[in-house]
């Protein structure tokens, strides 16, 4: 919200009536957004950033990431292995542990970018506003 207000403020052209000019700029931006939704080819898709990976359904992993895959042991590794066996049908031999690479950021289908705690925890000032909570709801049909 602050960024949008700042962007609109930068676009003000006539200083004698700044509020009227600000309202006009907001109105024009709404018109442009509506046109983009109605006629999508007016706003062509941006190419993926270098080093990113498209997961499908609008989810995109963004750099940086681990250089090497790491073995996930213990209860987390067991949970990943069980999920792969049950949900994806990937057979796992006894003692096999998954290897994963951590990614720093992910772009969601709505355009928001979420950050992992892996790199955020190393920063002096955490960006708490950019954390997301994922809640998976499962239904049991009787």
- 115 touches 130 (CB < 8 A): yes
Helix spans in the chain (H): 2-10, 18-38, 74-86, 117-120
- 103 touches 65 (CB < 8 A): yes
- 101 touches 70 (CB < 8 A): yes
- 62 touches 52 (CB < 8 A): yes
pLDDT in tens, 51-73: 899 988 889 999 888 889 999 88
pLDDT of residue 52: 92
Whole-prediction pTM value? 0.56
Instruction: Judge whether residue 131 has pLDDT over 60.
Output: no
pLDDT of residue 53: 92
pLDDT of residue 97: 83
pLDDT of residue 29: 85
């Amino acid at each position: 919200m602050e960024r949008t207000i700042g962007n609109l403020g930068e676009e003000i052209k006539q200083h004698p009536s700044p509020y009227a000019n600000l309202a006009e700029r907001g109105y024009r931006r709404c018109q442009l957004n509506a046109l983009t939704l109605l006629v999508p080819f007016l706003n062509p898709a941006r190419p993926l950033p270098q080093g990113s990976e498209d997961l499908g359904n609008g989810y995109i992993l963004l750099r940086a990431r681990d250089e090497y895959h790491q073995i996930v042991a213990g209860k987390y590794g067991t949970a990943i292995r069980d999920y792969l066996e049950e949900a994806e049908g990937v057979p796992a031999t006894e003692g096999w542990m998954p290897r994963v690479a951590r990614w720093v950021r992910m772009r969601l289908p709505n355009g928001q970018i979420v950050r992992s705690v892996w790199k955020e925890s190393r920063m002096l000032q955490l960006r708490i506003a950019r954390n997301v909570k994922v809640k998976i709801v499962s239904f049991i049909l009787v």
